[in-house]
Structure 1
Amino acid sequence: MTDILFTLYPWIKALHIMAVISWMAGLFYLPRLFVYHVEQAGTVDGAGAIFEVMEEKLLRVIMRPAMIVSWVCGLILVLTPGIVDWSWVWPWTKGVSVIAMTWFHHWLALRYKAFAAGENALTGRQYRMMNEVPTVLMVIIVLSVILKF
């Protein structure tokens, strides 16, 4: 099993990076769609329905699969012997940040459901502020992995 993990390591790592990029793109874009949904949907007849289709497709077709592949590949990488030294701080900061990013993903999915039910209670400004959450988490994750503090 260890031989297979070492052989596949660069491929799993490459797939992990591609999945994370896709997931992050969605995490950055969906709150922005929510901003436009709140601020513009009432100005054009039928625009709200168009935003809901865009939001649902982004969540279901891009973000969810990318998150799952990110998690699966990440766990495989963590299970590869000799890759992670748990006595360091960086795997813990990355792990906590990835869990927070997953929570944010689910929070966004709940916001989508609120829009679809006509129950959105947040403003464009609030969604703009929430748009910074994945940026902060990304900075923590990248610094943790690269600098290995």
Structure 2
Amino acid sequence: MLWLKAFHIIFVVTWFAGLFYLPRLFVYHAEAREPALHERFKIMERRLLGITHIGGVLAVGLGLATMAAFAWHNLAYLRQGWLHAKIALVLLLIGYHLMLARMVGQFARDANTRSSRWLRVFNEIPALLLIAIVLLVVLKPW
């Protein structure tokens, strides 16, 4: 069970690296004026999205496996309120990830309509979710 948990944490870190950096690339992309930079950002965004997909899938898969292992030993684990809240926040992260994938496509088609300011604010969402999730997992408030 500890191996599952350890690899879950490793891939959460991988996933969050993409969730943090991809929107920052969008900011730079939106502010770039040279066509060559736009093309370079498109490549970087596409490649980083691939790594983010891998990290996200493995983080969620290993998280589910870890949750199943804990539930196997004690079914009451699944009835804890903090766990329900964490799952809800992870679902929000998955939605955020899907928005990033859509936005990579928009930038690839030169169809972005969002300002760099909007993108800077959007970039803060995963940090807030990460703080909430870590506090829930460590403190288990209910």
TM range (shorter): over 0.9
Q: Distance in 1 between matches of 2:35 and 2:59?
A: 38
Please provide the CA RMSD for this pair. Answer: 1.2
Q: Distance in 2 between matches of 1:131 and 1:145?
A: 23
What is the number of equivalent residue pairs in this alignment?
138
1:82 to 70, 73, 78: 73
Using the TM superposition, give the Cα deviation of residue 87 of structure 1 relative to its aligned residue in structure 2, in angstroms: 2.9
Q: TM-score, normalised by structure 1?
A: 0.89
Structure with the larger helix share: 2
2:48 alignment counterpart: 58
Q: Does 1:128 align with 2:120?
A: yes
2:58 alignment counterpart: 69
1:16 to 8, 11, 15: 8
Identity of aligned residues (%): 36
Structure 1 runs not aligned, ≥5 long: 1-8
Runs of 4+ in 1 over 4 A off after TM superposition: none
1:46 to 36, 47, 53: 36
Q: Distance in 2 between matches of 1:20 and 1:58?
A: 15
Q: Distance in 2 between matches of 1:87 and 1:51?
A: 44
Q: Does 1:108 align with 2:100?
A: yes
